[in-house]
A and B are shown apart, each in its own frame.
With several copies, the nearest count.
Chain A
Amino acid sequence: MEPVVVFFLLGVAGGLLRSDLKFPPAFYEAISIYLLLAIGLKGGVELARHPLASVIVPSLVVLALGVAIPLAAYPILRYAGGLKRADAASIAAHYGSVSVVTFAVASAFLVRQNVSHEGLLTVFLVLLEAPAILIGVMLARGVGAGTAFGPVAREVVLGKSVFLLLGGLVVGWVIGPEGIAPLGPLFIDLFKGVLALFLLEMGLVAARQSAALRRFGPFLLVFAIVMPLLSAALGLTAGHLLGLSIGGLTLLATLAASASYIAAPAAMRIAVPDANPALSLGASLGITFPFNLIVGIPLYYQAAIRVNGG
């Protein structure tokens, strides 16, 4: 098992045993800032190696993926699950958006397998963060006259997640490989250790979220495991269209399968007040996140091998 995932399990154990370990809020914040920026930087440096024009078509395909997943999730939640409109829309937004940490764990997994991937994937990560959130708001409110998407769009794009990822991407692209070298000890070498710390904390939190979920019956539990598999299939299809390598396929499937628990919750809380956050966080963080870490990523990797080899 990927070492950083063991830290996650330690956190889950602590949460279940009700250990009084708690990260100070400022520490949690600082680690988040670091991880987002570091991922952006690394992606930007990779990106500097490619001509910018080659990014356009793949980006459009990935944007379509970011729209398709919440549109696919919504009817399942609304009609198969019988959830009320706001909840279905909010959960759809969470599953259409992405988990940056799941992406980071999948990257670490690939490094251990000695499998490389396209630099473009970090761009995909950024591109997938926002669209599903906007779709979610539309699904909840309808595309009526009175709906103002501007503020929500602004909120998401200038929200700290996208700002740091995108900002890191641009900075990495500007300063390039030699520029990043003296910053490497912080942003590259420490990355995996900090990720391990973050996963320890997320384990503590996830243990509590999954407890909250129990109240809502088996449908969400099943959804939180089946939906990532569907999304991963969509991701693999999109990646196959784009001719991605095995590493790229694995990461795109992981992105598709992952569910947001940072950007989406904050945005949905304001934009769709009548959605219950315990449902969406319980599913995305309490079930899907651990599922992807432990079962999903290796699975998507195997699938990527088949798709690429076939």
Chain B
Amino acid sequence: MTTRRKLLTIVCESDLEKKLGDEVMAFGAHGYTVTEARGRGAGGERDAAWGPSGNIRMEVICEAAVADSIAAHLRKTYFEHYALVLYMSDVDVLRGEKF
């Protein structure tokens, strides 16, 4: 009944939302989910108290190969200059063909 897919979660500064969304789709994902977030990390506290200090948390369910290519792209494009954290895990989805 279920199919195994990758769940790729990205936490990064809000300013990247639009660009990231487009890129994720371009790499072959069929959708994503975004929530507002705040947090702390190597770049200090990002408390979402005003525009430039907010984070987003983006989740992408996709095939492992797509997840890998998105991750590789983000690593190359954003790791050096942006506050961005990325992690992956396995999830079981219904309607596997959707992702």
Contacts and interface: CB of A to CB of B under 8 A. Distances in A.
Interface of A: 20, 22-23, 25, 28-29, 32, 201-202, 204-205, 212, 261-262, 265-266, 269-270, 273-274, 277, 281
Interface string B80-92: 1110000000000
Contacts of A201: 49-50
**Most A Cβ at <10 Å: residue of B13, B36, B49:** B49
B50 A205 contact: yes
B23 interface: no
A204 B50 CA distance: 10
Given A20-B18, A25-B36, A266 B80 contact: no
SS class of chain A's interface: helix, strand, loop or mixed? helix
Contact of B50 (A25, A212, A273, A277): A25
A281 B52 contact: yes
A269 B48 contact: no
A23 B49 contact: yes
Given A273-B81, A274-B80, A22 B47 contact: yes
Interface in B46-70: 47-54
Q: Contact residue range for chain B?
A: 10 to 19
Given A266-B15, A270-B15, A270-B19, A22 B52 contact: no
Contacts of B80: 273-274
8 contacts: A22-B47, A25-B48, A28-B49, A262-B51, A265-B51, A266-B51, A273-B78, A273-B81
A19 to B, nearest CB: 12
B49 A22 contact: yes
A25 B54 contact: yes
Contacts of B54: 25
A277 B51 contact: no
A287 B97 CA distance: 35
Contacts of A212: 44
Nearest to A281: B52
A29 B49 CA distance: 10
Contacts of B36: 25
A28 B19 CA distance: 23
Nearest to A155: B18
